[in-house]
Amino acid sequence: MHTTPPNPQSDQEARIRQHGDALLQAAEAFEPHNPVSHWLQSLLSRLHQNPDFRIRALRFVDLLPALQEDAEVVRLFDEYFSDAQEFPLPRLGRLAIRSGRLLGPHQLAAAIRKAIGLLSRQFMAGREPTTIRETLSGLQRQGRLVSLDLLGELTLSHREADDYLNGYLQLLDVLSVQPDQSLQLSLKPSSLLPRLLPERVTANTEVMVKRLRPLLLKARRQGVAVTLDMEDSERRPVILALFEWLLFDPEFRDWDGLGIALQAYLRQGGEDLEQLIELAGRRQTPFAIRLVRGAYWDQEVVKAQQNGWPIPVWQQQAETDRHYEACLQRLLAAAPGVYPAIASHNLRSLALGMAEVERLGLATEQFEFQMLYGMSTSYQQALVKLGYRLRTYLPFGEPIPGMAYLVRRLLENASSQSMTRWQVTNEDAASCFAPPKVETRLPAERPEAGFQNTPLRSWLKPDECQAFQHAIDQVRGQLGHHYPLLIDGEWRDTAACIESFNPADRAQLVGTTACASQEDADRAIRAAEAAFPSWRERPAESRAELLRKSADLLAQRRDEFAAWQILEAGKGWREADADVCEAIDFLRFYADEAERLAAGASVKLPGEHNRYFYQPRGVGVVIPPWNFPLAIVTGMLSATLVTGNCAILKPASDTPVIAARLVDLMQQAGFPAGVMNFLPGPGEVVGDYLVRHPAVHLIAFTGSLAVGQGILRLAAEPRPGQRHIKRVVAELGGKNAIIVDQSADPDEAIDGILKSAFGFQGQKCSACSRVILVGDQYAHFSRRLCEAAESLIMADPTDSACDIGPVINAAAESRIQQAIEQGRQAGRLLYRMESRGFESGHYVGPTLFGEVDPNSPLAQEEIFGPVLALLPAQDLDQALALANSTRYALTGGIYSRSPANLERAAREFRVGNLYLNRGITGALVNRQPFGGFAMSGIGSKAGGRDYLLQFMEPRCVTENTLRRGVAPLSEAP
Ligand code: NAD
């Protein structure tokens, strides 16, 4: 007899279809009767069809709860939408809008608020305990289980983290809970602690466990389960580590109420699942795994692309679907060792889950389905009707953090990469149960042409953190060495020496360098002069190659160079890593730029040939500051060299060791003798002498206004024998402001201000030292900002958990302390972090002053430390006037969600680098060419396309090619 062999694949497909049809049929009885749904449908379809509207609508929804005044609501509604009809509203709302136009802003604002309120109630339970209880019991009456999620996003301070946990503790008090595990809490780990960072896994985990313990114990006593939500991939390592700790904590080890969410859109989701299953095997007590697709797809892709990191998520929807199915099968097969929660709105995933549990013979109580409140309601009820456990994820709480959740839900329902579909009943059943079809040919990724920034460390891989820690340990073993001068290719020593100490531990000698005298300076100048003619004649490509070789060497030793910065300059891990990346970028970018400029330009006319090209200037002196001890040195030095000048580098006396190591590395790349000379010595002695010297043509200086002005004065005066005017490139200080208007996202603003003001202890020329708060938010905003500053961690910068390290030296410490003392006359001291326990280093804690007199030194002068002045402003006019009121014009920023205000700031906030809705430090080579004007400097922007021009002199050669009335053929008219 001839039989067809069984085909497991098609059998499974048939079972999926069968269960899917049963689900569709059961759902028919539960068509949504919600009156909101009609206009919501039209809103969602407009969101889906019109990407431009989608962006504007989501931004407006996100912004609304932050607006206090009705007039602001109406103004911004008008800014976002061309007319009131563009944003679909419920019928009553539309009427109110029409009459509101006649009646005034209050009615109109009320109508808009009502519409967004309806929208949020569709997906969230509100904040009042009675409402939450009603919604909860309504769902329980329908036979649904519930997971309660207290709305909260990024926490900025310990107080906010405490509030979040207290919210749950109070909820447990309020709800009378049956000890049947029917209720679950979903926790967002990022709400438990500010700054969850992958390189701080251990430190973060310890604090979070301590914070969570009382809540977990109480939940356990009340029979309430607790699941950790998974958030973006930057937090994933900490969340996984926290969960593992809790699983094996003696107090929770035998509790089956713990759970964790797992994201299938992550390429690593499958590995995470295997790891969790392995943990369950070791633990012996099961825990819940909620398998979701993931809700941060856009953010993951954008962040990875911006940073040059591998994209952590699957790029095709079908790939995510396929991965979800594979994970689902693996997860169900691991039951009852784990408790699977199939969290999906995708019909095929639900049907696959139903088919698999049947095939595996799992009992109803050995798994559950999960869906979000307000979405696919009829399918939720249908699953209950079919006898499955169904848990509804129900968010509750304040509207502001709720908006971020709402935006994610709307995005999920509307975006082209949508993981779910609204109202799947309308879809063709066959296509919605078809297996995911992965396109084999992905749209070809554009090969990136030209210069690319060096990706910063993501710290996402544990071995990245270990390697970095190892580099710090290695460098610790190399402290105390001596570094000589380099003149004419020879390392030479001097009788005197410069000692460099670790600012975090003043007793620790990082190293010593030679200390040049004026005779050494003369020798270096002679060597540079002698090397100049042949270096000048070298083709630009050959000089550029030496820069690229140096970049490669530096890239190979990036962690080591970062570690030196931590120990010699007191930079934190991320700051030190970024500094090395910037140095590599300068080398590669200026190499490209030198080649571009070497091509020159020619203009040909009949009988006339014009050649435009550049020549180097001669001997260049490079005088960098200590605060970017590698990047700025590398940038100014490489620009001098690649354009054909010979250089004498006089490093900053606080960071000469890093400079010496850089020079050594660049020597290894093969710079000829005399081209690059290294001359550490006191600025006032050697620096001053070099600046005056008649044989010097070019001075590249970055530093303070006072020293810069002195250099400009000295350089302007010709000395006997000098036959040229010196060129000075001077990048100076700043007194940079961030404006926060009333429409700003306060969380983002506070986060950005903290990083900009206190990153590297405020010792950046780009640092924020003034915050200008528009309107009546002043009291509330400044309180939150102070609380957030209070949560920063002062530590030794070798510790990855350090937010606040030391300032550079004793003089800086006392200068900043003095500025703080004087600041008391100019404003109200709002907060000052004590530095007790850190006396072995030069520590000054973040300090904030409120209501600062805008004309006081506190608001006008650069302090170059972690001191922030807060200034109130009535409106944007006054804010811009304040922002522009100092003699500096380096960086600035504005946080606003008003397109009109952003546009106005772009025009009227006059600084070299203006940032909209982000922090104001961390400019990247080529992407944000950096530098200011007014008293902030007289150079073209570093890392920009005009920079190298300053190191060269342009020439034009014109030839008459007409001889005896005959011109070359190519020039014939
Ligand atoms: P600084 O002016 O004290 O020193 C800068 C360099 O000049 C050092 O190498 C120093 O040894 C040298 N120097 C000092 N006196 C000299 C003299 N008389 N002649 C020649 N050289 C002399 O500045 P710093 O404390 O090293 O750096 C902090 C300052 O740099 C801040 O004002 C900051 O805003 C500014 N800065 C500006 C930028 C920018 O791009 N605009 C970048 C970083 C730092």
Tens-digit pLDDT profile for residues 559-576:
999 999 999 999 999 999
Strands (E), 456-581: 481-483, 485-487, 490-492, 497-502, 505-514
Helix 201-221 / helix 158-174 crossing angle, nearest 10 deg: 20
| Amino acid 401: pLDDT | 66
| 744 Cβ contact list (under 8 Å, min separation 6) | 66, 895, 896, 897, 917
Q: What is the pLDDT of residue 129?
A: 79
Ligand 1 atom, smallest distance to 710 CA: 18
Residues ≥6 apart with Cβ < 8 Å to 372: 123, 345, 392, 393, 409
Range 915-943 average pLDDT: 97
DSSP secondary structure, 65-92, as one string: GG---HHHHHHHHHHH-SSGGGS---HH
Look at 113 and 595; give whichever has higher pLDDT: 595
Among 741, 733, 723, 786, smallest CA distance to 764 is for: 733
Q: What is the mean pLDDT of residues 260-274?
A: 97
> How far is residue 115's CA from residue 81's CA, in Å, rounded to a whole number?
15
Task: Supply 424's token pair.
Answer: 């799947």
Is-catalytic flag, 515? no
For 292-318, write each residue's pLDDT tens digit: 999 889 899 999 999 999 999 999 989
- What pLDDT shows up at residue 840? 96
CB of 206 shorter than 6 A to ligand 1: no
Nearest atom, ligand 1, residue 942 CA: 40
- Residue of the nearest CA to atom 42 in ligand 1? 765
Q: Where are the alpha helices (DSSP H) in 867-945?
A: 876-883, 899-908
pTM for the predicted model, two decimal places: 0.94
Q: What percentage of the chain exceeds 90 in pLDDT?
A: 76
For the segment 98-102, the average pLDDT, to the nearest whole number, is 56
Please determine, for residue 203, whether its predicted confidence score (pLDDT) is greater than 60: yes
Question: Which numbered atom of ligand 1 lies nearest the CA of 705?
Answer: 32
The CA distances from residue 344 to 272, 301, 324, in Å, are: 19, 21, 10
The angle that helices 540-556 and 573-598 make with each other, rounded to 10 degrees, is: 160
Which one has a higher pLDDT value, 36 or 450?
450
The mean pLDDT value of the chain amounts to 91
Q: Examine the pLDDT at 543 and tell me if it is beyond 70.
A: yes
> What is residue 41's predicted lDDT score, i.e. its pLDDT?
74
Answer whether 731 contacts ligand 1 (Cβ < 6 A): yes
Backbone angles phi, psi at 714, to 5 degrees: -65, -40
Least confident range of 135-144, 246-255, 387-396: 135-144
> Looking at residues 695-722, what average pLDDT do you find?
97
pLDDT in tens, 885-909: 999 999 999 999 999 999 999 999 9
Handedness of CA 371, 372, 378, 384 (dihedral sign): positive
Three-state DSSP class for 344?
A: coil
Q: Rounded to an integer, what is the distance from CA 509 to the centroid of its chain?
A: 34
Above 80 in pLDDT, residue 175? no
Half-sphere exposure of 864 (CA within 13 A, CB side): 19
328-384 pLDDT, tens per residue?
999 999 999 999 999 998 999 999 999 999 999 999 999 999 999 988 888 999 999
CA of 948 to the centre of ligand 1 (A): 21
Torsion of CA 468, 472, 477, 483, to 10 degrees: 110
Tokens representing 151 are 């709305």
The model's confidence at residue 517, banded by pLDDT at 50, 70 and 90, is very high
Residue type (1 letter), 370? Q
**Which atom of ligand 1 is the closest one to the Cα of 930?**
40
Catalytic residue among 300, 568, 731, 862: 731
| Per-residue confidence (pLDDT) for residue 612, from 0 to 100 | 97
Confidence of residue 420 (pLDDT cuts 50, 70, 90): very low
| Active-site residue, from 465, 765, 786, 802 | 765
Is the Cβ atom of 381 under 6 angstroms away from ligand 1?
no
CA-based nearest residue to 184, from 135, 226, 133: 226
Of the candidate ranges 50-54, 493-497, 550-554, 711-715, the one whose mean pLDDT is the lowest: 50-54
pLDDT of 444 strictly over 70: no
Return the pLDDT at 318. Answer: 92
Which of 704, 705, 713, 890 maximizes ligand 1 atoms within 8 Å of its Cβ, making it the mutation to test the pocket?
Answer: 704
Q: Tell me, in angstroms, the distance from the centre of ligand 1 to residue 701's CA.
A: 7
Question: Is the CB–ligand 1 distance for residue 912 below 6 Å?
Answer: no
Query: For the residues 64-89, what does the mean pLDDT come to?
Result: 83
Does the beta carbon of 702 lie inside 6 Å of ligand 1? yes
Q: Identify whether 336 is preceded by a cis peptide bond (ω within 30 of 0).
A: yes
Instruction: Specify the length of the chain in residues.
Output: 973
For the question of residue 731 being annotated catalytic, the response is yes
Question: Which protein residue's CA is at the shortest distance from atom 11 of ligand 1?
Answer: 683
